[in-house]
Structures are given as C-alpha cells and as structure tokens.
Structure 1
Amino acid sequence: MKFTLNRIALASMVVATTLTIASCATSPTGRNQVLLFPESQLSEMGVQAFASMKENIKVSNVPVQNEYVQCIADSIIVHVPKEVFDGVWEVVVFDDPQVNAFALPGGKIGVYTGLLEVAVNQHQVAAVMGHEVGHVIARHGNERVSTNALIGVGQEVVNAALQANEVANSQLIMGGLGLGFQYGVAMPFGRKHESEADEIGLSLMAKAGFNPQESVELWKNMAEASGGNSQPEFFSTHPSPATRIDDLQAKMKPALAAYNATTNRPNCRK
C-alpha cells in the first residue's frame, strides 16, 4: 500500500509540474505546451541522434545534390530565430528512397534523395525543409519527449540515455524527435504538430524568397507519388489531399505578402 501511495504522490507531483510548465510555455502559434526539458538537452539529443543516423544510413556523395540542398537550407536557416539555434547548421543528404526530410534540435537537417525525385524544384524542397525546421522552431521534439517521459515517468531514462550516448537506442527519445527507432527512419508528428509546422514552414519559405504557392504543387506531387494508395511518409498523418490544399491556400495570403515583400530570390540548381 505504501508503494502504491508513493507512486500516486509521484504522479501527482508530475501532473502539478506539468500544469505549471504548460501555463508558461506556448508555441509560436499560441498553443499551450508541456516542455519538461531544457532546450540544451534537446540539442544534445538531436546531435546524438544525427550522429547515429550518419553511421547507419548511406550519405550521398553526389556534389550536385549536396550543393543544391545546402543552398536551399542556407536560404531558410538565416530566418530561424537565434534563440532556437545560434550555431552552424549541419545539412546532410541521405542516399535513401524515403520521400522525406527532417530537422532536429541542435541545428541538424537531413534530406533523403527520394524527396528530390518528388519535390521537383527548389521551392518545393524549401516547402518541406521549412516545414521540418518549423517543428524545431515550435519545440515539438521537446513536447513529445516530455509527453513520453510523463507517460512512463521517464525523465531518468532520458538522462541516462544522454549520459551513455545511447539516444539512438532509446525509443522514447527517437520517437519524440520524430525518428523511427530503427536506423533513424523519419516518422510523422501528430496532426496538430504537422499543421502547426505547415503554418510556420509556409511563412519561413516565403521570407527566404521561395514561392509559397509551390507548397500546393508539392502536395499534388506527393499525392500522385502515392499511386492512389497510402499517402507518402511525409504526409501520413494529414487529411485528404483536397483538405490539405484548402488548408494551405487558407494560409497563403500572409505568406504571399511576405514573399512579395522580400528581395531575396535564391537560385539553387540541381
């Protein structure tokens, strides 16, 4: 009985802490968030996870691909707030057929070569990259790792994994960062996170000088790439193509205003 009461007391303390944190943490769109970990710890998680991926997934050695993706990334990350990451971003192209990309806390961006077959120009690649960086800006990784830790009362597990450099072997951490447990396969965030990243990404790509209207064309390409069956990995938690396009178009006016207001016009070629 004493053990049970102690567990209840611990759970109550966790809930109280959560409510306190949630009341003072909000996303860029004004949504309340539960963030249990300092961003420095999330950056450490991202760095460890990225290092593991580079060991387990083939990195592209095609100069044109790498220069093309780096060019797009350079145009976008200059618009990322310094409080999100104030260092040199590392951008890697992975030689893998996944139609996907990801960004991690700690200034890490990964793009799979499969995406470059579906995103047919710099604007469409920027739409994906802006979306993924949007997850980092909105601290979605911290939010999901925090939720996972609360469910399993697992902050000690997270700390132990970090100290032992075992982030890549922690399902709790990798899942929270939006990566699969095995070999860093990119996994979708929940729908509310995906929609929020869409909104942030649309603004980000527009400020960087990429045409936000191409995000709609990208979605059409992604839907076509699915062959009428299941959706590609990148959009697996999203609504139907028609609903997705409607949502993007509803947010298009301010994005176009930002695009038209900037003199930036990147010229990234593959």
Structure 2
Amino acid sequence: MNRLIQFFILTIIFVGCSKAPLTNRKQLDLIGDNQLMASSFDSYDQVLKENKLSNDQEKVQMIKRVGNNIKNSVEKYLDQKGRSDLTEGFKWEFNLIVDDIVNAWCMPGGKVAFYTGILPICKNEAGVAVVMGHEVAHAVANHGGERMSQALVQQLGGVALGVALQQQPEQTQALAMAAYTGGSTLGILKFSRVQESEADRLGLTFMAMAGYNPETAPDFWQRMKAKGGGAPPEFLSTHPDYDTRISNLNKWMSEAKQYYSSSNKAQNSEIGEVTEKSDLNVNSKPKNVIQLKVKDN
C-alpha cells in the first residue's frame, strides 16, 4: 500500500511539473488558475477584515500610486515577452494595513498588502517600489502556487490531493493563505532562495520600467540589514543573506538601468514619519501574516 501511495505521489508530481514563467526553471504546479485565484481573493478579503486599514490618505494614495506604476510596468514587460497571459484574471488591489510589523506581500491575482511598519525602512517611494516590485514578481512568477502545490503534496499526500481541492475548501484555503503571505501559520515552506532571487531580479526590472531608480534597491536592503542586526549563515536560511542579495542586485544593475533610462521617471517623495502607531494594539498581532524577513529564520 505504501508503494502504491508513493507511486501516486510521484505520478502527480511528474504530471504537475511545468516551467516557471519567465525563467523556465522546473516548477511544481498542481493548482489550476481558477482555484488559485478564488482562494487568493477569499484569503485577501479575510486579511482585510481582520486588520485595520490605514486612513492616512497621503500614504494610502502613495501605495496605490506606486502599485499602479508597477502594475503598468509588469503588463508592459509581459507584453514585450509575449506572456500577457500571466496576468489574465488579475484583479489588482493595493492596501495599507496599520501595524508595526515589517511586512508586505502580493497574493496571486495582484492582491497587495503593505504594513505601516515597513514604510520607515522604505524611506521614500523608490523604496516602496523596491518592495512592491519584489512582491508582485512573486505573484507573476507563480511562486505562491508553487509553494501551495508543494504544501499539498507534503501535508495531505498525493492520494488526498484531489479530495482536498474538491472537498476540503477551508483546509485548502488555509494552505493558500500560508503559501501566499509567507507560511508561518502551518509551518510550511517559505519562499526558497531560488524564488527569492527570481523575485529580486524581476522586481528590479519592474521598478526600473516604472521609472524608479533601480540603484535604490541595494540601499533598501542595506537598511533592512541594519534593522535586522545581522543574519544567520546562509546555509541555515531559506533566503539569501543580505550581502548575497545586495551583490546579486548590483550584478543585475546594468540590465535594470537600461530599462530605467527608457522609462518615464516616477516621482520619489519622502514618506515621512509614520504617525499611526497610536492606533496599534501592541498586545495583538494580525492573523495569517509573516514578516518580510528582517531576520532570516
């Protein structure tokens, strides 16, 4: 019986292997786009209901402005690559959540959340564009769907996979939530080093095409490094360490600057002080989220 189960799991993995969008590496993809989008949209609505949205219109409009600039650059880039299908069905949305957690993410379908805690590290709109481009790149490259596929095989087993998708919507949605927003709720896989590097490179391109100077990206990660107070050795982490990440960004900089030179330059106003900390409940934390890594675990 165990051999039969192993056979089914291996068969599902073999059939579900595809090539990652834009990078062409092998990628486990077991979840149909319709199911992926439906789970994403439901999960996003749940997050918005469970957290306080910012009423600081200056910052809210800045998040939406940067988000729409990145969205336009993504669509232009995909059109140039003949892959406009990758954002088919996306319903872009950009919201700012009041919490001092250092976090931001993008679910499949273009559902983005920023947290006020990351804004001081972003420093200005270009810094927001660094994060926005990186998180949107995860969605465009189907990293959330890939991680959800891995989690379903890992936790439910190959035989239970079809049943889970059809008959266990709540459990499947919980896996989706963890896969999209970082993966702490159920302890499943975080974004891998490969996925992080893909998102760094694509995000650098997206922000440059949107008119934000890509040279601000290494500066942002330097500030993240200073905020984190160091990181464990890279072999202990699922993420590249800060120095590796910054080195890679500099390696890709000449390519990104070519996109930037031909873009319409975006504004880059300072964010200023985050003034909504008095609205925070320091005794509670938002549900179903994880920090954008200040310290890699």
Q: Is the Cα–Cα contact under 8 Å of residues 164 and 172 in structure 2 kept in the other structure?
A: no
Of all paired residues, the percent bearing the same amino acid is 29
Question: Residue type of the partner of 1:43?
Answer: M
Q: Which runs of 5+ in 2 are unaligned?
A: 79-83, 272-297
1:25 to partner: Cα distance: 2.7
Partner residue, 1:39: 33
Pair 1:85 & 2:80 matched: no
* SS of aligned partner of 2:181: coil
After superposition, the C-alpha distances for 1:152-205 in whole angstroms (9 at most, x for unaligned) are 22522244343x5x665x2x32222234455x9xx9512111111111111111
Matches within 5 A, 1:42-53: 42-53=36-47
1:124 to partner: Cα distance: 1.2
1:229 to partner: Cα distance: 4.6
Separation in structure 2 between the aligned mates of residue 11 and residue 238 of structure 1, nearest angstrom: 30
Q: 1:173 to 1:60 in 2, by over 3 A?
A: same
Partner residue, 2:64: 70
Q: 1:256 to 1:242 in 2, by over 3 A?
A: same
Matches within 5 A, 1:199-210: 199-210=201-212
1:268 to partner: Cα distance: 5.5
Pair 1:160 & 2:167 matched: yes
Q: 1:106 to 1:212 in 2, by over 3 A?
A: same
Partner residue, 1:123: 126
Partner residue, 2:112: 109
* SS of aligned partner of 1:103: strand
Separation in structure 2 between the aligned mates of residue 31 and residue 139 of structure 1, nearest angstrom: 12
Separation in structure 2 between the aligned mates of residue 66 and residue 167 of structure 1, nearest angstrom: 31
1:16 to partner: Cα distance: 2.0
Separation in structure 1 between the aligned mates of residue 68 and residue 92 of structure 2, nearest angstrom: 9
Matches within 5 A, 1:114-263: 114-151=117-154, 152-153=156-157, 154-155=160-161, 156-162=163-169, 170=174, 172-180=175-183, 188-226=190-228, 228-230=229-231, 237-262=238-263
Separation in structure 2 between the aligned mates of residue 192 and residue 136 of structure 1, nearest angstrom: 14
Q: Which runs of 5+ in 1 are unaligned?
A: none
Q: Out of 108-117 and 87-96, give the one that drifted further.
A: 87-96
Counting matched residue pairs gives 251
* SS of aligned partner of 2:112: strand
Q: Is the Cα–Cα contact under 8 Å of residues 145 and 173 in structure 1 kept in the other structure?
A: yes
Question: Residue type of the partner of 1:239?
Answer: P
Q: 1:265 to 1:160 in 2, by over 3 A?
A: farther
Provide TM-score, normalisation by structure 2: 0.77
1:78 to partner: Cα distance: 1.4
* SS of aligned partner of 1:30: coil
Provide TM-score, normalisation by structure 1: 0.84
Question: Residue type of the partner of 2:20?
Answer: T
Q: Out of 98-107 and 64-73, give the one that drifted further.
A: 98-107
* SS of aligned partner of 2:114: strand
Q: Is the Cα–Cα contact under 8 Å of residues 145 and 179 in structure 2 kept in the other structure?
A: yes
Separation in structure 2 between the aligned mates of residue 38 and residue 121 of structure 1, nearest angstrom: 37
